Amino acid sequence: MRHGKYPFIVGFLFLPILLYVGLVLWPYAQTFGYSLTDWSGQSQEMNFVGLDNYTKLLGDEVFLGALWHNLLLLAVLPVATILIALFFAFMLNVGGKGGTGGVQGVAGAAFYKVVFFFPQVLSIAILAVLWQAVYRSDAAGLANGALIKLGLVDPQHPMEWLNSPNLVLWCIMGVLVWGGVGFYLVLFSAAMQSIPKDIYEAALLDGAKRGQTFFKITLPLLWETIQTAWVYLAIVAMDAFALVASMTPGRTYGGGPDHHSELMSTYLMRNFLAFGEAGYACAMGVVIFFFTLILSVVSLRVTRRERIEY
Amino acid sequence: MGSATEYNRRDIFKRAAAITVLAAGSGSLLAACAGGSGSSDSKKAGEYNLKDAKNPFGVDPKAGLEAFIFDGGYGKDYLAAFAAIYSKTYPDAKVNQQADKDITGKLQPRFNAGSPPDVIDDSGNKQIKLDVLVKDKSLVDLAPLLDAPYIDDPSKKVRDVLMPGTIESGTIDGKVYNLSYAYTMWGLWYSGKLFKDNGWTVPKTWAEFITVCEQAKAKGIAPLAHQGKYPYYINVAILDMIAKQGGLDLMARIDKLDPTAWDDPAVKTAVEAFFQVVEKDFLLPGTNGMTHTESQTAWNQYKAVFIPSGSWLENEQLTSTPADFEMTFLPMPSLPGDKLPFEAIRAGSGEPFVVPTKAKNVAGGLEFLRMMLTKEASGKFAQAANSLTCLKDGVGPEVQLKPGTKSTVVALKAAGANVFNFQYPNTASKFDEDLQNASGELLAKRITPAEWIKRAKESATKNKTA
């Protein structure tokens, strides 16, 4: 029956590969193609313009600003999310009082886990509405209301969180971290629980403190999971579209005030749909694609370590 | 979570934008052609007997009619009223009424299959682009409709009873393909009750406006709210002041992205005068970051005296407006030396109604549109959708209007020929965005009027060449 093997495998893979090529690779290829044209996005007419769109991108201050914002997100978001998630996961799993009971989390760990995971259950649209209420620019906003009650903010001039050039990006970052921590907490928890308890017990017997068990045992054994988290968060940082588009001020797809929260993706969408510059927008898409690709490869390479078996 | 109204409002812009973009490209040059002797599409026009006031398009009284409208800011209640009017003349015709938010999703397949509805309000953010339809030859040229006798007064043609700008809004590549039915006005709005209760006088000049603002502030009411998250709205106020001070020539130069327009002293006068509201701290606390829903609701709660918006405001705020609020429209107050009078307002047509070429009942579709332009239908629309229509004096005194819409009728009458409409928000999106961003900064007091003007000029320069 050996000779029947290849037709069988080919037959089996044909449809999935066709679907993948047709629905994933082909649209990518199309985007590359469109990025070399002056397509408006509203008609079939387009002219080949070579790399004009790309040279234009290099001189586009708004795009460069957006790129900078994405890089800032990239620098802060994964680190902040992973550190907080790691800390919580450690506390919930092995951070409890040691002693005869062996290794355990802090009291009420199961409850906290559910609570922390909550933001993950909500759709991003709901998060946006929720946080818009928090960041509301008058006294009715949760943040302003609290600060006004505490006498820290003048009720006549409340903080305009999302309308402040220096605050807006951090406000968005806060929501992203808040929304992401729960998921990575659960991810890290699962990884931690697969670490054999006797390793911890041995360490405890040897007199290891909490910090030592964390840095000497947990972290090395979690490395692969953290690496995965890193790649995912980096991709989120390159995107972050939905929150900025829905929460920040601006003509279409947010990005305001005055481009201070502009991201590559919001600028892309505005060019695509509002300005009728689909070719230019496709060029941005290609840039984002390569950025994200390179980033994933680099972070996987840089964080590569010897696998620890247990 | 109030998102329904949000979509409505945005839809209105997108709608207005789409129409005018299309109109602007071809409108001015070729309007003469459309306004000419109806020379277009003679093959089709020949089939119609435009002398017959009763049935110029030769409607088959038994043929069914399907009307499909966009269910957006104006709702869908008016469709039933229109259908009833059609049924009155053609009782044997079955009128199929459809309304949906997703025009593209519902109708694109039907256009492709060659069985579109007979009359469509192709609007909203899921509108099928009108230029695409025209390119595919999917839309009927409305020239016969414009030249048909006007039902209420057969001595006139339909084109004679339309508000100025309506035909231009419907023109693509020199021919009229849509009837932009709703008529929108922009300006400031206030509560008549608030003014009465406090004994304030409604301002006509900017000095009086400032006085009222000071009186309100002394009473603890913020003088001005605006939809800070979308600086589109406050630009209506600022740009209208510029247009009134500098006149229609200056407006035209701004629309053409002529950078020197911003050197005109009128711009400086208007913007600096406006900037007083920022300097004197007249803004509702937090309004710079508010959405249209938040700010308009605060205004409805008497937390602010004035707010800029278009005439969809009343319909949009129906649920949050107190019964005795007396919503009232106010043109932008005058500055000394204004070239346009106080009564001058920004206004224009929107909401494109079309008849597809492949419709089963093209004649019925055209007749439906002709009936929409009667005083009766126009009044019904005003009542159900709280908006004026493109019919001149389309709302008679017998129609019971909500106070806001009523005040727009008064304002429009007072304005007479002094109606203007900036084109740049629809024809120069990037410039519009720059101007909006600059205004956001201006209102937040992060830039001065001089810097605002500088930004406007830079953007005009940049986008003119691009």
Task: Note the pLDDT tens digit of each residue in A257-301.
Answer: 999 999 999 999 888 877 878 899 999 999 999 988 898 888 878
Q: How far apart are the first and last CA of chain B?
A: 40
**Nearest to B162, CA basis, from B331, B374, B385, B368:** B374
Rounded mean pLDDT, A50-67: 92
Task: List the structure tokens of B400.
Answer: 């019971």
As a whole number of angstroms, the distance between CA B415 and CA B140 comes to 34
Sorted by sequence, the CB contacts under 8 Å of residue A149 that are 6+ apart come out as none
Closest residue, chain B, to A250 (C-alpha): B230
Residue of A nearest to B133 (CA): A43
In B, minimum Cα distance to A255 occurs at B437
Q: Indicate the residue type of A42.
A: Q
Phi, then psi, of B175 in degrees rounded to 5 = -120, 155
pLDDT at B114: 86
Chain A CB contacts of B298 under 8 Å are 138
Q: Which of A130, A168, A171, A251 to mutate to test the interface with B (most CBs of B within 10 A)?
A: A251
- Chain A residues with CB-CB distance to B438 below 8 A: 258
- In chain B, residues with a C-beta closer than 8 Å to the C-beta of A161 are 289
Residues of chain A found within 8 Å of residue B433, distances taken between Cβ atoms: 250-251, 270, 274
For B212-252, the DSSP string reads HHHHHHHTT-EEE---TTSTHHHHHHHHHHHHHHHHHHHHH
Distance CA(A92)–CA(B6), nearest Å, equals 42
- Is the distance from CB of B424 to CB of B255 less than 8 angstroms? yes
Nearest CB to B429 within list A161, A257, A275: A275
Would you list the DSSP string of B158-225? GGGGBPTTHHHHHEETTEE--EEEEEEEEEEEEEHHHHHHHTPPPPSBHHHHHHHHHHHHHTT-EEE-
Closest chain A residue to B294 measured between Cα atoms? A136
Number of neighbouring beta carbons within 10 Å of residue A197: 12
Q: Quick check: B437 contacting A, CB < 8 Å?
A: yes
Q: Would you give per-residue pLDDT tens digits along chain B (466 residues)?
A: 334 444 455 555 555 554 444 444 333 333 333 333 333 333 344 578 888 888 999 999 999 999 999 987 788 899 999 999 999 999 999 999 999 988 888 888 888 888 999 999 998 767 777 877 887 788 999 999 999 999 999 999 999 999 888 888 888 888 899 999 999 899 999 999 999 999 999 999 999 999 999 999 999 999 999 999 999 999 999 999 999 999 999 999 999 999 999 999 999 999 999 999 999 999 999 999 999 999 999 999 999 999 999 988 998 898 999 999 999 999 999 999 999 999 999 998 888 999 999 999 999 999 999 999 999 999 999 988 888 999 988 888 888 889 999 999 999 989 988 999 888 887 788 899 999 999 999 999 999 999 999 999 999 999 886 5
- Select from A129, A251, A257 the Cβ nearest to the Cβ of B232: A251
Of B290, B436, B441, the CB nearest to A251: B436
- Which pTM was predicted? 0.81
Confidence (pLDDT) at B446: 95
pLDDT in tens, A144-194: 999 999 999 998 899 999 999 999 999 999 999 998 998 999 899 889 888
| Structural domains of chain A in order of their starting residue, each with its CATH number | 54-303 (1.10.3720.10)
Residues 6+ apart with CB under 8 A from B121: B68, B69, B70, B181, B351, B352, B353
Peptide bond into A78 cis (omega under 30): no
Per CATH, B27-184+348-415 and B187-346 having the same topology is answered: yes
* Secondary structure element (H or E) that encloses residue B388, with its range: strand B388-389
Q: What are residue B139's DSSP bridge partners?
A: B356
Query: Cβ–Cβ of B285/A155 closer than 8 Å?
Result: yes
pLDDT for position A97: 63
What's the confidence (pLDDT) of residue B286? 93
Whether B229 and chain A come into contact, CB under 8 Å, resolves to: yes
- At A94, the pLDDT band (50, 70, 90 cuts) reads confident
Which of A93, A97, A86, A122 shows the shortest CA–CA distance to A110? Answer: A93
* Total residue length of chain A: 310
Tens of pLDDT along B220-229? Answer: 999 999 999 9
In this prediction, residues A221-234 reach a mean pLDDT of: 89
Rounded Cα gap, residues B353 and B69, in angstroms: 8
As a CATH number, domain B27-184+348-415 is: 3.40.190.10
CATH number among 3.60.15.10, 3.50.50.60, 3.40.47.10, 3.40.190.10, domain B187-346: 3.40.190.10
On whether any CB of chain A is under 8 Å from the CB of B280, the answer is no
Predicted local confidence at residue A44, as pLDDT? 64
Render A67-126 in DSSP notation, one character per residue: HHHHHHHHHHHHHHHHHHHHHHHHHHHT-S--STT-S---TTHHHHHHHHHHHHHS-HHH
Sign of the C-alpha dihedral computed for residues B287, B288, B290 and B291 taken in this order: positive
Predicted local confidence at residue B2, as pLDDT? 38
State how far the Cα of B364 lies from the Cα of B67, in Å rounded to an integer: 10
- The 3-state DSSP class for residue B281 equals coil
- Does A136 contact B286 at a Cβ distance shorter than 8 Å? yes
ipTM: 0.85
> Long-range contacts: B148-151, Cβ < 8 Å, 24+?
B148/B48, B148/B50, B148/B56, B148/B57, B148/B366, B148/B370, B149/B50, B149/B51, B149/B52, B149/B53, B149/B56, B150/B373, B151/B53, B151/B370, B151/B371, B151/B373, B151/B374
Q: Do B287 and A137 form a contact (C-beta atoms < 8 A)? A: yes
Residues of A in contact with B425 (CB under 8 A): none
The answer to whether B48 touches B57, Cβ cutoff 8 Å, is yes
Residue B54 has a pLDDT of 86
Mutate to test the interface with A, among B290, B292, B439, B462 (most CBs of A within 10 A): B290
Residue A217 reports pLDDT greater than 80: yes
Paired with B224 in beta bridges are B283, B306
Contacts of A136 in chain B (CB under 8 A): 286, 289-290, 294
The answer to whether B301 faces chain A, any CB pair under 8 Å, is no
> Is B304 strand, coil or helix?
strand
Over the stretch B244-255, which tens digit does the pLDDT of each residue have?
A: 999 999 999 999
CA atoms within 13 A on the CB side of B328: 16
**What is the rounded distance in angstroms from the CA atom of residue B176 to the CA atom of residue A238?**
45
Contact between B387 and B311 (Cβ < 8 Å)? yes
DSSP secondary structure, B395-438, as one string: S-TTS---HHHHHHHHHHHHHTT-EE---HHHH-HHHHHHHHHH
A43 and B132 in contact by Cβ < 8 A? Answer: yes
Q: Summarize the confidence of residues A12-32 as an average pLDDT.
A: 90
> How far is residue B329's CA from residue B306's CA, in Å, rounded to a whole number?
10
Which residues contact residue A133 at a Cβ distance below 8 angstroms, ignoring those fewer than 6 apart?
A141, A142
* Domain definitions of chain B by residue range: 27-184+348-415, 187-346
- Work out the mean pLDDT of chain A and round it to a whole number: 87
Position B212, amino acid: V
CA distance, residue A32 to nearest chain B CA (Å): 23
Do B286 and A161 lie within an 8 Å CB cutoff?
no
Question: Cβ–Cβ of B229/A249 closer than 8 Å?
Answer: yes
Are B287 and A137 in contact (CB < 8 Å)? yes
B119 or A302, higher pLDDT: B119
For residue B229, which residues of chain A lie inside 8 Å, CB to CB?
162-163, 249-250
Predicted pLDDT of residue B14: 52
